[in-house]
A and B are shown apart, each in its own frame.
Chain A
Amino acid sequence: MAAKSIEPEFVITRVLEAPRELVFRAWTDPGHMARWSGPRGFTCTCEIDPRPGGAYRLVMRSEDGVDYPISGVFREVVEPERLVMTMDPTGHPAQWHDLVNPNRGDDPNPAGQLITTATFEDLGSRTRLTVRTRFESDAIRDAMLKMGMTEGWSQSLERLEELVAKI
């Protein structure tokens, strides 16, 4: 367990005004998923087979028509509590991969595989959603470990953002 607390990961939490079953459905029903996946202004098409070992594929399209496909496999599906899925961004545009590592050379996916865990916590009529991402790329993991984070990565990122905002 001790080792787990220093897993380099990105954590984001939201309390949503909806019951847990509904939030879980929004993550596992392709019709629902397509309505909210991706940043502002994006549209999305998606196929989901939400069972352990089942595959999914999302294609998020930006307002200027650039596709950001993600595919992966569900490792865990515990309705309505928890989803663990792999995310492979290899199909993302070249510029995205250059942002991850400008010196990536021939590497088609410098970010490596991302493992995303979504947990849905029942708060009555509301739901606490936590999304954790673990990066399998050695370079990214090393960098995150070196930040010495024990309380999750996002906290030190907030500090970093505060710092950068002052510059």
Chain B
Amino acid sequence: MSPDRLDMTFSALADPTRRAILARLASGEASVTELARPFEMSLPAVSKHLKVLERAGLIARGREAQWRPSRLEAGPLKDVADWVDHYRKFWDESLDRLEVYLKELQAQGKKDGRKKH
């Protein structure tokens, strides 16, 4: 993914309403009316969010003029998540190992301490 595309994805995800729309679409496609219902928002306001999500490549919309159902496009989301995951995993696993190592060190210390007495 190009840096511009990554930027667009991040900025589309920065808004809580848009994240909620994506979460809703994760359980299946939906029309603008269906998406507007839980948010107490006007249809044009929801359409605006959908346009941002569509430009970021996070959703695709059907061609039928009346209904135009939106559905989730997982690709860009997964790219961002993969990138972040990689860095998080590095620290998570290193700190797991640190935790185990510190326990070993302390157990060793206690044993050595006992020998001296």
A residues near B, CB below 8 A?
Answer: 10, 12, 14, 16-18, 22-23, 26, 32, 35-40, 99-103, 129, 131, 133, 139, 142-144, 146-148, 154, 156-157, 159-161, 163-164, 166-167
Task: Report whether A35 and B101 are in contact in the complex, using a CB–CB cutoff of 8 Å.
Answer: yes
Chain A residue nearest to B7 in the complex (CB): A143
State the interface size on chain B (CB cutoff 8 A).
Answer: 44
Q: How far is B99's CA from A16's CA once the two chains are assembled, in angstroms? A: 6
State the main secondary structure of chain B at its contact with A. helix
Task: Report whether B10 and A40 are in contact in the complex, using a CB–CB cutoff of 8 Å.
Answer: no
Task: Report whether A16 and B102 are in contact in the complex, using a CB–CB cutoff of 8 Å.
Answer: yes
Task: Report whether B97 and A40 are in contact in the complex, using a CB–CB cutoff of 8 Å.
Answer: yes
Contact of A139 among B7, B13, B95 (CB under 8 A): B7
Q: How far is B99's CA from A23's CA once the two chains are assembled, in angstroms? A: 9
Contact of A163 among B23, B84, B85, B90 (CB under 8 A): B23
B72 interface residue (CB < 8 Å to A): yes
B66 interface residue (CB < 8 Å to A): no
**0 or 1 for each of B52-74: is its CB under 8 Å from A? (1 = yes):** 00000000000000000000101
Task: Report whether B91 and A139 are in contact in the complex, using a CB–CB cutoff of 8 Å.
Answer: no
Write out the residue numbers on chain A whose beta carbons fall within 8 Å of the beta carbon of B13. 147, 156, 160
B43 interface residue (CB < 8 Å to A): no
Contact of A160 among B2, B84, B87 (CB under 8 A): B84
Q: How far is B105's CA from A17's CA once the two chains are assembled, in angstroms? A: 11
Given contacts A10-B87, A167-B72, contact A146 B7 (CB under 8 A): yes
**0 or 1 for each of B18-29: is its CB under 8 Å from A? (1 = yes):** 010011001100
